[in-house]
Amino acid sequence: MLIQGNCWNWKVVVLVGSKWILVLNSISVLFLLFSVVSNGDFSVKLANLLIFFKCLAVDSKKKADPKAQAVKAAKAVKSGVTFKKKSKKIRTKVTFHRPRTLKKDRNPKYPRISAPPRNKLDQYQILKYPLTTESAMKKIEDNNTLVFIVDIRADKKKIKDAVKKMYDIQTKKVNTLIRPDGTKKAYVRLTPDYDALDVANKIGII
């Protein structure tokens, strides 16, 4: 804060700050009072004088009690600066594997193609027809296993899913082989909860 008052053509400056205060001594204050009474423009100088004393009073109020300041400083020193300690990850192996980042499914705002592609390998494509040879019948009776001719591109998981969708049965195991004529044969073993003979009757093999 800066307050200026003219005393015999020289400036009296009072600087009131948060860190330091320069206060006029009593002689300067007397000079300021004398200049207010003697010189012209009485109202302006009186206003400046009032502002000066008001600022001094406000600043004296702002000064904190030294005891309170000392207690506050001691408390700060005692508590100390608190740092948040970061927990260290415990590693149990010497090899480091790059973590798999999250890959979200695409959710386009509009379709990029006019018609969605048809699934060329659905359950009807995968299971072509069941085999009804003597060896296949023996598998049904003895091993609780159904035998199908399947698509050459179908793997064991797809065959298992296709059987579940088509006949609503659970499979325990799937074995596949490619015959000399180039077709793929699948041996679908059912779980003990299902009977291969009943399923074969339902399908129409027997």
Q: Judge contact between 162 and 127, C-beta under 8 A.
A: yes
pLDDT at 11 over 60: no
Q: Among 34-38, 74-78, 150-154, 176-180, which stretch is predicted with the lowest mean pLDDT?
A: 34-38
Q: Where are the domains of the chain?
A: 2-64, 123-203
Structure tokens at 187: 């041996």
Q: Is the pTM of this model over 0.95?
A: no
pLDDT for the residue numbered 27: 44
Domain over 123-203 is classified CATH 3.30.70.330: yes
